[in-house]
Structure 1
Amino acid sequence: MDTPDRSRSAEELMAVVSQLNRRMRAASPQGSLSPSQRIVLGRLHDGPATTAALARAEQVRPQSMRVTLAALEESGLVERSPHPTDGRQVVFSLTESGRRRLTELRQAKETWLADAIATRLDTDEQRVLAQAVELMKRLVQS
């Protein structure tokens, strides 16, 4: 494949991945969570984190992350605790309610996607999609 074809494929892949993400977000229960709050819940699923670490990961200012965390804390979805080694900092982690909410969000997305695959693609197309997923995994490997 020559460079223009690769560039076009890259452009089309970025567009379709973006559209797919939007469709899955639309399929999950909105409730009162903003997109940034949803992202923070997902990050905290990997383990507790400081405000600064979350802000760096999302490339936002710490002040913006503090606002997001305050809203999540007020909703009972995250909780703060003392940093294990630095008494000047706190770490945030998911509460049980936050874990349940994150599970609901992810389950709704997965249900929508599985249904879309089952109803919009025939068996051969589903097999091709499974192969494409494996190729995409290779693209993101370090």
Structure 2
Amino acid sequence: MAIFGRSDKEAVQNISVAGTTTIAQGTRIEGDMNLECNLNIDGYLRGNIESTGGVTIGRSGRIEGTLTAERVVVSGIFKGDVECSTVEILSGGRVEGNVLTANLVIEDGGIFEGVSKRRDSGVLELKEEKLKGEKGA
């Protein structure tokens, strides 16, 4: 079990994967990431992320791209497409884009601008829709 800071509260992620990768504040990364662990971002990441664990975006964190994970907790900023079992937008967090999830939680003070669709299966539906759109264009 991994525990991540959450202002005055703590978010507990029950995701059984080994380890956590942390991108510290002041770090900028551009590129794709494929992880078999949890990811904690307090810096800036632009690219596509696929994780079998959870992704936590801290207050100073920012992601721009496509994100596929088991669970996503946002205290900072996320712009792009996200697909996971649970998306939690905490107070002060902001998500802009398309969300495909079984559970969307938005705390008072959290901001969501975009389109939300309910995910009923474990299939990476956003990725498949995007591929269909590229082939049809």
* TM-score, reference length from structure 2: 0.22
Q: Which has the higher strand share?
A: 2
